[in-house]
Amino acid sequence: MTTELTSVELEHHPSISRQDADSDTQDRSSVEPGLHTIDQALARVDGGSSAWTLLCAAFVFEGILWGFPLSFGIFQSYYSQLPQFNNSPYITYVGTIATGITYLGAPFVAPFVKRFPRYQRPMIWLGWVLCIGSLVAGSFADTVSSLIATQGVIYGVGYLIIFYPIISMMNEWWVARRGFAWGIMVGSSGASGVAYPFIIETLLQRYGYKMTLRALAVATAVLTGPLLPLFKGRLPASHSSALARTDWSFLKKPLFWLYAISTTAQSLGFYLPSLYLPSYALSVGLSFRTGAMLVALMSAAQVLGQLTYGYLSDGRLSLNILMLSTCIVAAVSSLTLWGLAKSVAPLVLFALVYGFFAYAYMAMRVRMGTAVTSNQSSALAIFCVFSFLQGIGNILAGPISGSLLSPVVDSHEYGYVRYKVLVIFTACSMVVSAASITLSSCLRRFIVVA
Residue 255 in this model has a pLDDT that exceeds 50:
yes
pLDDT score of 441? 78
Alpha helices in 232-343 (DSSP H): 237-240, 254-270, 272-284, 288-312, 319-333
Residues of the chain with CATH 1.20.1250.20: 48-449
Which of 32-36, 138-142, 250-254 shows the lowest per-residue confidence on average (mean pLDDT)?
32-36
Concatenated DSSP letters of 179-230? HHHHHHHHHHHHHHHHHHHHHHHHHHHHHHHHHHHHHHHHHHHHHHGGGGGG
Select from 76, 67, 434, 432 the least CA-distant residue to 272.
Answer: 76
Residue 184 in this model has a pLDDT that exceeds 50:
yes
pLDDT score of 447? 55
Residue 28 in this model has a pLDDT that exceeds 60:
no
pLDDT score of 147? 94
pLDDT score of 444? 66
Mean pLDDT over residues 108-112, rounded? Answer: 87
State the chain's mean pLDDT as an integer. 83
Residue 415 in this model has a pLDDT that exceeds 60:
yes
pLDDT score of 215? 97
Most confident of 26-30, 166-170, 329-333: 329-333
Residue 314 in this model has a pLDDT that exceeds 80:
no
Sign of CA dihedral 151, 154, 160, 165: negative
Most confident of 195-204, 387-396, 418-427: 418-427
Report the alpha-carbon distance of residue 200 to residue 69 in Å, rounded.
Answer: 11
Mean pLDDT over residues 104-125, rounded? Answer: 89
Report yes or no: 300 and 194 within 8 Å, Cβ to Cβ.
yes
Residue 29 in this model has a pLDDT that exceeds 90:
no
Residue 324 in this model has a pLDDT that exceeds 80:
yes
Percent of the residues in the chain that have a pLDDT greater than 70, as a whole number: 87
- According to CATH, the topology of domain 48-449 is Growth Hormone; Chain: A; (1.20.1250)
Which of the two residues, 248 and 1, has the higher pLDDT score?
A: 248
> Cα–Cα–Cα angle for 13, 16, 19, nearest 5°?
140
pLDDT score of 445? 64
- pLDDT band at residue 35 under the 50/70/90 scheme: very low
Residue 12 in this model has a pLDDT that exceeds 70:
no
Report the alpha-carbon distance of residue 283 to residue 418 in Å, rounded.
Answer: 9
pLDDT digits (tens, 9 = 90+) for 206-243: 999 999 999 999 999 999 999 999 998 877 765 555 55
Most confident of 25-39, 111-125, 175-189, 332-346: 332-346
Select from 270, 271, 224, 210 the least CA-distant residue to 75.
Answer: 210
Residue 15 in this model has a pLDDT that exceeds 80:
no
pLDDT score of 152? 93
Residue 170 in this model has a pLDDT that exceeds 90:
no
Most confident of 34-43, 174-183, 185-194, 420-429: 420-429
- Those residues whose C-beta lies under 8 Å from the C-beta of residue 315, and which sit 6 or more positions away, are none
